[in-house]
Amino acid sequence: MPPPVPRPAGRSASIAAVPDGFSRSEGKELSRFQNKEIARGLVSSTRVQAAGMVAAVGLQTTAMLSREALFQADGDPATAARLNHIVDQYAAYVGNEVARFQY
């Protein structure tokens, strides 16, 4: 797998742009640290995007379920209470799924 930090043309494949005064081993270590941070950032941003998508879809489906519950209840308060409980449980489930994402 190629390293996430692109190598400048004409430079050694093992060392990217290393500041002057760094030894070869310090340059390699710097490159490893840079690659590690870039990878960590990519993973974090992917998790944030996934959590956002789950939240958006969950919000939309909760709204659809709520509207359908209102339609199905047809003015009956007992049926509306039972259906609203189902909608509330679904909304809590969606919230828990979003909360499971760790950034």
Number of structural domains (the chain) is 1
Mean pLDDT confidence for 45-61: 95
Q: What is the pTM of this model?
A: 0.66
Range of the domain at 64: 24-99
Contacting residues for 9 by C-beta, under 8 A, at least 6 apart: none
CA distance from start to end of the chain: 24
Tell whether 28 is covered by a domain.
yes
Look at the alpha carbons of 52, 54, 59, 63 in this order and tell me if their dihedral is positive or negative. positive
Q: How many residues does the structure list for the chain? A: 103
Tell whether 1 is covered by a domain.
no
Which of 83 and 7 is assigned the larger pLDDT? 83
Tell whether 18 is covered by a domain.
no
Per-residue pLDDT of 65-101, as tens digits, reads: 999 999 999 999 999 999 999 999 999 999 999 999 8
